[in-house]
Structures are given as C-alpha cells and as structure tokens.
Amino acid sequence: MIEILSDSRLASVQDLGRFGHLRHGVGMSGAMDIPALSAGNLMLGNDPGAAGIEIPLFPLRLCFHRPCTFALTGADTDATLDDAPLLPWWTARAAAGQTLTLKRPLCGVRAYLTVAGGIRVADVLGSRSTQLRGGFGGMAGRMLQKGDLLPLADNADAGPGGFGILSPLSCLPLTREGDPAVRVIPAAEYPLFRQICRDAFWAEPWKITSQSNRYGYRLEGTPLLPEQPLEMRSHGIVPGVIQVPHGGQPIIQMRDAQPMGGYPKFGAVIEADIWRLGQIPIGKRVRFIEADYEQGVAALDELDGYLTRVRDMVAIQRLSCAVTSFD
C-alpha cells in the first residue's frame, strides 16, 4: 500500500485514458502528460499504460507501507525519500515505512509517480483513470485525500532502481521566441474568423489564465472574432480542440474535456503536443505554430521514437544488472 499523508490537492490516479466511450458521453480522462507517465512506467518494466499518480499541486507526502520500486517523472519537484534527495526522471527503491516528499516544482507543473506493477485500483470501462464528471475510476472517482491507501501489485519491489533518463522536453524541445510552443492544425470553422484575428493567433503570445484545469485551458490574448456571428449545434470534441466562445478568448479542451460542445472550432493542438501544455504554469505564455495533418503524424512518430529509446535503454539496464548479479 501507498498511504497519502498530506492534503493531496488535486492529485489523482491516471493511466493513458478511457477510450471507446465518447458515444456514451464518457470522456477520455487520462494523464495530462502522457509521455511522462509512459516513460515512468517503461523505466520500471511496466506496460506504458499502467496507472500512476498525477500530482499538480505541492507539497505532497506519502508513505510506502511495503518495499517498492518507483519512478518520478514530469515536473522536477526537488523530491526526497526520507532525507535523501531524489533526481527527476529517476528510479529508486523504497523500504517499508519510508516517506516520499514532493516539493514545489523547480520547473514544470505536474509530477508523476509510477510504481512497479502499477497502482492497482479497479478497472472501470477499460481504464483505471479517475473520471471526475462521472465519479468513477481511480480512488472512488475523486481526487486523492489524506489517509487514502492505494493498492500495489505483488511485484511492486521488482526492477532495478538508481538510474534515470532525459525528459522529452530535453530531447524534443519546442519554443518560439523564448516561449514554450505547441503545434496547431486549423479546424473546420477557422476560415470563418477575421483574417486579422487569424494572423494574431499565430503571431502573438497567449496567456494561460487561472481558469484553466484538466477540463480546459482558457487563454487570454487578442480576441478571435468571426466575420459574422456563428451559431452552431453541439458536436463531438476531443482533447486538443480549440473552441472560441462569444467573447473571443479561446479554450483548449484538455484530458477531462466533455465529449460534446457547441462553440466554433478554431483549431486543434496536435496529439503529440498536448503534454507540453500540461507542463506550462498558470499565468505563463504559450505560442502557437501552424501545422498540417502530415506534420502532426510525424510529431507522433517522433514522440514514439523517444519512448522506444527509453524502452531500449531500460532493457540494456536490466541486462547489465542481470550480468552483474550473475558475476
């Protein structure tokens, strides 16, 4: 078991998401930073989709009630295991009774704790992710609370500890004029917006406002106004879609986005870049780079290549540990 020792402040159990149920009104959920969760799992020999803990607010303290091999990825939280400092994007082994403390991030926003064998909460509709709107998945469909006990797999202490990897942000940087950037494909209603507004979207920075969360990121900048008033019926949406309410300040749908919406679609953040948004602090700026479908697919291939390199490195590490043990 892992026991939550402090007010967890929006921490939740997440995996890669819940797929195939949008037609039933069930959103995807899942980790805001998919590469961080996947890499942490791969470092432990898990399937990339094993459930871990997503931590967006700090500090957080938890206790391992049994020996456990774990990885910390995502934001650099200046973490400690008892009094020993831990590096970000690193694996470690905890003895029963040891306490892990995650402090305010030095960089990034969301940290991920993965453990060998994964967090073993119940599987609901093919996923262990917390679904807040429906109140299911994860730990009783809610954010984690002080005193929660999270079940672990029987092999929670398996795998080598004491090694790390480079983060995807280090390997796949993307900035524009010093600001973090994401790539966007123009959407169906894009041509219906004023040319001056379209130009401003690509040319100017956008502030991520305090009204942003797992449901959506609300942006502040030059209003995106249509040539004529737009009234639309509700239609299907997915994470990454950029919708524009009447005021002209866009909303980027995130992992807990509802499956339907009626605002016009200006664009869509490519799937390979949604994680970048999840690591930009509230109040900071983001820039947008115009992309097309082929570039979006190429970016996914690039991200898959990073995760393949992580998997290969872990295999080499495990082989090295096996040879050393044999000797």
- Pair 35, 161 in one domain: yes
- Average pLDDT (9-20) is 92
Residue 29 has pLDDT above 70, yes or no: yes
Q: Are residues 181 and 65 in the same domain?
A: no
Does 327 have pLDDT greater than 70? no
**Per-residue pLDDT reduced to its tens digit, 226-237:** 999 887 888 888
Residue 236: count other Cβ atoms within 10 Å of its Cβ: 10
- 183: closest CA among 171, 191, 174? 174
Question: Where among 134, 169, 204 does a domain terminate?
Answer: 169
Q: Please indicate, yes or no, whether residues 190 and 259 belong to a single structural domain of this protein.
A: yes
Last residue of some domain: 142, 169, 196? 169
Q: Assess whether 9 and 133 both reside in one domain.
A: yes
| Arithmetic mean of pLDDT over the chain | 93
Give mean pLDDT, residues 173-183. 96
69 belongs to a structural domain: yes
Based on the domain organization, do 216 and 119 belong to the same domain? Answer: no
Task: Compute the radius of gyration of the chain from its Cα atoms.
Answer: 20
Residue where the block lists tokens 């900035």: 175
Indicate the SS3 state at residue 149.
strand
Report residue 324's pLDDT band, with 50, 70 and 90 as the boundaries.
low
Contact assessment for residue 108 and residue 72, using Cβ atoms and an 8 Å cutoff: no
Q: How many CA atoms lie within 13 A of 129 on its CB side?
A: 26
Q: Are residues 101 and 131 in the same domain?
A: yes
| 47 and 114 assigned to the same domain | yes
Q: Report pLDDT for 322.
A: 58
**For residues 229 and 42, which has the higher predicted lDDT (pLDDT)?**
42
pLDDT at 325 over 60: no
The residues facing 236 across adjacent strands are 260
| Pair (235, 261) in one structural domain | yes
Structure confidence at residue 20 (pLDDT): 87
Which tokens hold the place of 316?
A: 């080499």
Decide if pLDDT at 182 tops 70.
yes
Q: What is the pLDDT of residue 122?
A: 93
- For residue 143, give the 3-state DSSP assignment: coil
Question: pTM to 2 decimals?
Answer: 0.94
Domain total of the chain: 2
The model's pLDDT over 280-320, given as tens digits with 9 standing for 90+, comes to 999 999 999 999 999 999 999 999 999 999 999 888 877 77
Range of the domain at 269: 175-291
Distance CA 29, CA 194 (A): 33
Q: How many helices (H) and strands (E) does the chain have?
A: 5, 21
On whether both 144 and 192 belong to a single domain, the answer is no
Q: How many CA atoms lie within 13 A of 255 on its CB side?
A: 25
How distant, in Å, are the alpha carbons of 170, 202, 286 from that of 176?
Answer: 15, 11, 9
Mean pLDDT, rounded, for 249-271: 93
Q: At what angle do helices 293-326 and 34-43 cross, to 10 degrees?
A: 20
Rounded to an integer, the average pLDDT of 57-86 is 95
**Measured distance CA(96)–CA(82) in Å, rounded:** 12
The tokens of 304 are what?
A: 């898959």
- The answer on pLDDT for 22 being more than 60 is yes
* Residue 321 is assigned to a structural domain of this protein: no
